[in-house]
Each structure stands twice: as C-alpha cells, then as structure tokens.
Amino acid sequence: MASIKQYTTKGGKTLYEVAVFIGRDELTNKPRYLHKRGYNSKKEATLAASRLSLEANKDDLTKRRGFTFKDVFEQWYLGYVNTVRESTWAHTRNMFDNHILLYFGVRGIDQITTSMLQKAVNQWSQEAYRNYKRWFRFTSRVLKYAELQGYIGMNPARRVTIPKRQDKAGDASPNFWDKHELAKFFSYIDPDKEPEKFTLFRVLAFGGLRRGECLALTWQDISFTDKTIRVNKTLTQGEKGRQIVQAPKTRKGRRTIPMDAKTMAALKHWRVVQLQKYMALGFNTNKPDQLVFATMHNTHKYLNQPEKWLKQIEDAHEIQHRITVHGFRHSHASALFAAGATIKEVQERLGHEDAQTTMNVYTHVTKGQEERAAELVANYLGF
C-alpha cells in the first residue's frame, strides 16, 4: 500500500514523494512507512512506489521465512509469562525445552507440516501417556501465534488427529488407601521417634492438603484453640527449579480446615520437639512465621522429601498397593465420601474451584461402600 503526494520546492519546482507501508512496529503496533521523494512526474513516482512495495514485501517474506519454531516460541513466550503464575510458566518452559523444542526447535516455522505434527503426536502418545495431549496443545498454540503474526498461512495443527489414550489391560491400582490401609501405614511410623514424619503424613491424610500447601505451613497457620489449619500459601517450583512460595492454586484454595483432636495433638507434640531440636542447632523456632516442617538449616524442605519418606516406608514394609504423596489427598476425599460428606463439603474442604473438579477427580468409592451398595440392591430386590 502506497500513497503519492505532490510538493513544491523552495525554487518553485513541482515534484512528487511516495510513502510505502512496510509493516507495523512490533512493540507499538503502529504502521511504519518508507518515504522517498524527488520524482519529476506522478508516473515516475507511481512506478517507484510499485518497486518499493515489491521490495518491502520480499524483505518481509524473507524475514518471516528465516524464523525457526524456537524463534516464534520465544516471541510467544514473552507474552505468555504475563498471563500465568511463575510456577506455571516455569513448568511450561521446562516442557518446551525438554520435549517440544527437541522435536521442532530448529525447523523453519513455515516448513512444519500436518504430517510432521501427526508423526510427533503419535510418537508422544507412546512415550508420554499422561502428557502428550498437553505437549501437542502448546505446540499448536505457538503455531496459532505464528498464523496470527502472518509467519505462516494456516496453522497445520488444525488437521491433526489426536490419538486416543489406550488403557492398559488389567485392573489399575487406585491412587488412594482405604481406612484399613491408612491405619496400617501409620502403624509403621513411631510418633515418638519420628514425630515430624508422623505429623506431616497425618496432616496430609486428615487435612487433605496438597503437598506444597503442607510444606508452606507456618505455626501462625495452626490454631490449637480452634483446632484448625489455615491454608493461604503453597510451596512450588519456579524458574530453573528454584523453590518459591506463592498464593494457593485456586481462589478457593484459601481456606480454613477444621481438624481432629489427634492430629492437633500430633502437631502440638511436634511443636515442642521442634523447639528443643532446633535450639540445639542454633535456631529459635519460637516465632509465628516459623515453618512447621523445615530442613536442618531451617529452610523449606525440598518438595520431593515427602515422596522419599513415603517410598522408604513402602520399601521397608513391602507395601504392595503403593500410592503417591498426592494419594493421601485422594484418600482423604474417599474417606469423606465414605463418611457421608456431600460434594459441596468435600469441595470446600479440599479447596476445589468448582464442584465439577471434585466430581471428576474423586469418583472412587471404598471397598466397604461397594459391598454396602451390593447389599442394598439385594435387600431391595428380595430374591
């Protein structure tokens, strides 16, 4: 797009100038023009404008064709980090660095085809059963950005068929324990010899806290008078794996959880032991902002510490049905449902943003509930 204007020099001569549109500024999005003047006739100016427009389009196309997938990802990522929390964008960065960019990073953005993407997602579905859909979704987001910027004509990811997850044959081991399995687990931990370990798992199982919420707790969050735990922060991973404390995962994540007497007693016992133990190490832990669970240097524990403790216990006692640390949260939800709690009550206690999350994730029932359901049907039918 070009415009031609007539102007008069100081000497009274009539000449022409052209202004050729060459794109928009990447920061301000304002139009940019190339100005040339000194043409003797409108025809000469028109020909010059056509030539300059062709050159500008050619230069722009050359620049766009020079972009690799990684180049475009970096552009997209600059905007993305302003829309999510640090833990989220750090996790996304790791996903691209360790997986997506290894596959597409050096490829020209305009050379990526639907068949390439189909091959990639097919391969990912075999290698990363839980994550392949997320990897493809973010790959498509970068390509959509490229489409919007005019780097490619159409997002080739639109025509890809996402493989369906194929469940493995056999019964999957549920990631939760029933009350008998939980009781057995806690019998393996001596609360007098290992009060911190016992208390941490007790808070997870009887409070339903997320791992990061538990490790971020300070003593001012514990009310021995009201028998409650206040959740208002979480420990998570930020950029380059460093641990950071940030707001809870969801708005509903800020909550006050009523606790049972035995868990509060375990916390109180650990509080006394901690004061003595850390005093010997040179730390005064008698302060409100003291971490409930800390390292020997009185800093936040590593996020994988509870998982290590759990595996040690499972290995030592040859526990066959194994769960993750998050499985204690699942166990808590299952116990709530078994005890007759409503969806709303479970949602509020676990800090889910909406009831649908509670319904989607915690649909398990305990063995006792299944047996009771069978008895109810048999009694009703009566034959």
pLDDT, one tens digit per residue, over 26-74 is: 556 677 777 888 888 888 888 888 887 777 666 555 455 579 999 999 9
Query: What pLDDT is stored for residue 241 in this prediction?
Result: 85
| pLDDT range class, residue 172, cuts 50, 70, 90 | low
The string of pLDDT tens digits covering residues 296-343 is 999 999 999 999 999 999 999 999 999 999 999 999 998 888 888 888
**Contact present, 87 and 236 (Cβ < 8 Å):** yes
Residue whose C-alpha is closest to residue 200's, from 347, 313, 364? 313
Tokens of 325: 């640390």
Query: What pLDDT is stored for residue 55 in this prediction?
Result: 72
Residue whose C-alpha is closest to residue 206's, from 300, 295, 339, 307? 339
Query: What pLDDT is stored for residue 372 in this prediction?
Result: 57
Mean per-residue pLDDT of the chain: 88
Residue whose C-alpha is closest to residue 332's, from 192, 144, 202, 234? 202
Question: Percentage of the chain surpassing pLDDT 70?
Answer: 88
Dihedral sign computed on CA atoms, order 325, 327, 331, 332: positive
Distance CA 180, CA 183 (A): 5
Tokens of 26: 């990447």
Query: What pLDDT is stored for residue 355 in this prediction?
Result: 79
Q: Residue 256 contacts by C-beta under 8 Å, 6 or more apart in sequence?
A: 228, 229, 230, 231
Distance CA 139, CA 135 (A): 6
Widest CA span in the chain? 114
| pLDDT range class, residue 194, cuts 50, 70, 90 | very high
| pLDDT range class, residue 181, cuts 50, 70, 90 | very high
**pTM, 2 dp:** 0.71
In the DSSP assignment, the letter for residue 232 is: -
* pLDDT average, residue stretch 101-116: 94
Query: What pLDDT is stored for residue 256 in this prediction?
Result: 96
Strand partners, 181: none
Asked whether the predicted pLDDT for residue 104 surpasses 90, the reply is: yes
In the DSSP assignment, the letter for residue 299 is: S
Distance CA 26, CA 23 (A): 9
**Contact present, 77 and 113 (Cβ < 8 Å):** no
In the DSSP assignment, the letter for residue 158 is: G
* 149 or 219, higher pLDDT: 219
Please give the single-letter amino acid code of residue 273: V
Distance CA 344, CA 179 (A): 22
The string of pLDDT tens digits covering residues 348-372 is 999 988 877 777 665 554 455 555 5
* 244 or 361, higher pLDDT: 244
* pLDDT average, residue stretch 78-93: 94
Query: What pLDDT is stored for residue 341 in this prediction?
Result: 87
Distance CA 12, CA 37 (A): 15
Query: What pLDDT is stored for residue 214 in this prediction?
Result: 98
Residue whose C-alpha is closest to residue 288's, from 357, 229, 218? 218
Tokens of 258: 């009523």
Write phi, then psi, for 34 (nearest 5 degrees): -105, 120
Task: Give CA separation, 223 vs 15, 61, 199, 241, 357, in Å.
Answer: 84, 65, 15, 32, 29
C-beta atoms surrounding 185 within 10 Å: 20
Three-state secondary structure along 95-132?
HHHHHHHHHHCCCEHHHCCHHHHHHHHHHHHHHCCCCH
Query: What pLDDT is stored for residue 11 in this prediction?
Result: 85
* 122 or 1, higher pLDDT: 122
Name the CA dihedral angle for 209, 210, 212, 216, rounded to a multiple of 10 degrees.
-10
Query: What pLDDT is stored for residue 374 in this prediction?
Result: 64
Strands, E assignment, the chain = 2-8, 14-24, 31-39, 222-223, 228-231, 234-237, 243-246, 255-258
Query: What pLDDT is stored for residue 2 in this prediction?
Result: 77
Range with lowest mean pLDDT among 141-145, 162-166, 211-215, 297-301: 162-166
